[in-house]
Structure 1
Amino acid sequence: MSNLKELRFYTTPSHDCSYLDERQATTLFLDPEVTVDHALYSQLSNFGFRRSGKHLYRPHCGDCNACIPIRIRADRATPTKSQKRILKRNAHLSCQRHPARYDESHYQLYQRYINSRHGDGDMAPPTPSQYESFLTSSWEFCHLYEFHDGDTLVAVSVTDQLEDGLSAIYTFFDPDLAKSSLGSYCILKQLELCRQLNMPYLYLGYWIKQCKKMSYKGKYRPLELLLDNQWMELR
């Protein structure tokens, strides 16, 4: 296991927060020259770091602690009645795993998703280079899970494998299928994958109580929050 004190980290200049209006944010990045192996990635994920492309980062905003790292106890999670309905509604979908490489069909779906769901956000307008720098990776523990309805690609989950679980990096799906609840379905399937791999956790990134777009993350139980560098179960 790496000694974190020997690693180099850099902070970005202060910038507008992507989630909370009238807030400024600062991000802490691992030195991009550091070789990231499976053990280091897993260790940093346990300390609240996330992946964006080939970079590992976490919020570092001084007196603001709104971004809370969260993970689901996959080994103890049981779907609610509404989640069971989502699983049943999408039971006909097939799932395949691929390396986290650029694929034109993935990008086309991503483009439609961003333009439809997040057209006013900082990821719009999407471009192939932005997509690559955000979601693809040459690390062998980074994967893309494709979900098909017959021959039609309907969703893609970018999912990284850690030593103690899976990290749900990002999911995009066909915006015309809103009634299928594909975002929730992909989280439920990733929980199933954790159990198949005998891994206890599904890391969900950051939860911000004041941000409505992140409210869906609070619907899963048991949920653990990283507070003062300690994982604590939400009661």
Structure 2
Amino acid sequence: MTELARLKFYATQPHSCSYLPEEQATTLFLDPSQPMDVNVYADLSEMGFRRSGDHLYRPHCQHCNACVPARIPAARFAPNRQQKRILKRNADIQVIEARPAYNEEYFDLYRRYIEQRHADGDMFPPSRDQFSTFLVRDLPFSRFYEFRIDGRLVAVAVTDLLPNGISAVYTFYEPSEERRSLGRFAILWQITEALRLGLEAVYLGYWIKNCKKMNYKTQYRPIELLINQRWVALN
């Protein structure tokens, strides 16, 4: 573990929660002047932190603990029948590793995804500045994994490679390819990649029991939740 006690953190003022509209949220951020060190990031991921752009953060709400960090222990994951079908259905996809960058091909896919899948969210309407600030960061551990079918870009998994696992930062995909379940396939691929790299887990961000958009995360078994600062397998 790095010496986390020397780090400084800042909390935001309460603001509307993106997931539970009736709740007020507070977010804890690592001091942005702290260099984005991969070992600090790995240690903080064990404590439920995530990355957004140049910031490491986690929920720090006074009256709500609904956001529960979730991860998949890669070596113990076993795909269910539906997940095996998704893997078979997408066997024709080629995955290409790339450095984070801005280009119109990426943004056009991102724009379609936000407009058709998340028009009710706080990332709508999508913009080039928003895309770049959120996802295009020149960090040595960050990757864009391109998912292509006969050269056509159908998904991008923005992924951080950490000493203790893979952090699935964000995935956007072609909304017209609904039959392929590209979002779920991207997670299955990242689990396989974690195994190939000898990494322990895939960090999925936060699971919220009463948020339907989060339900898909518990379909990956076993899954572990960070409860009382201990990773516990969900029954």
TM-score range for the pair, normalised by the shorter chain length: over 0.9
Equivalent-residue separation in structure 1 for 2:195 and 2:214 (angstroms) = 24
Q: Does 1:198 align with 2:205?
A: no
Q: What's 1:228 paired with?
A: 228
1:9-47 CA deviation, whole Å, 9 max, x = no partner?
111111100000211000000111001211111011111
In the superposition, the TM-score normalised over structure 2's length comes to: 0.98
SS at match of 2:143: strand
1:87 alignment counterpart: 87
Which residue of structure 2 lines up, in the alignment, with residue 133 of structure 1?
A: 133
Q: Secondary structure at the match of 1:56?
A: strand
Letter in 2 for 1:216: Y
Q: Distance in 2 between matches of 1:205 and 1:29?
A: 15
Secondary structure of 2:75 counterpart: coil
Asked if the contact 2:29–2:57 (Cα under 8 Å) also holds between the matched residues in 1, the reply is yes
Residue 125 of structure 1 aligns to a residue whose secondary structure is coil
Distance (whole Å) between structure 1 residues aligned to residue 29 and residue 11 of structure 2: 6
Q: Amino acid of the residue matched to residue 151 of structure 1?
A: G
| Aligned residue identity for 2:92 | H
The aligned runs of 1:1-235 (5 Å cut-off) are 1-235=1-235
> Deviation of residue 104 (structure 1)?
2.0
Tell me the CA shift for residue 100 of structure 1. 1.9
State the Cα distance separating 1:194 from its structure 2 match.
Answer: 0.5
Q: Residue deviations 1:129-182, cap 9 Å, x none?
A: 111111121110011100000121000000101111101011110000111100
5+ long unaligned stretches in structure 2: none
Residue identity opposite 1:48 in structure 2: G
Distance (Å, rounded) in 1 between the aligned partners of 2:46 and 2:101: 25
Q: Which amino acid aligns with 1:140?
A: P
- SS of aligned partner of 1:29: strand
Instruction: Tell me how far apart the structure 1 counterparts of residues 233 and 79 of structure 2 sit (CA, whole Å).
Output: 17
Number of residues of Structure 1 aligned to a counterpart in Structure 2? 235
- How far apart, in 2, do the equivalents of 1:229 and 1:137 lie? 29
Gaps of 5+ in 1: none
Per-residue CA deviations over 1:73-132 (Å, capped at 9, x if unaligned) read: 111111111101000001000001111222221111000000000011100000011111
SS class of match (2:58): strand
Bigger drift between 153-162 and 94-103 goes to: 94-103
Identity of counterpart residues, as a percentage?
52
RMSD: 0.8
- Aligned with 1:130: secondary structure? helix
| The 10-residue stretch of structure 1 (68-77 or 100-109) with the greater mean CA deviation from structure 2 | 100-109
Please report the TM-score for the alignment, with normalisation by the length of structure 1. 0.98
Runs of 4+ in 1 over 2 A off after TM superposition: none
Answer whether contact 2:4 2:40 (CA < 8 A) is retained.
no
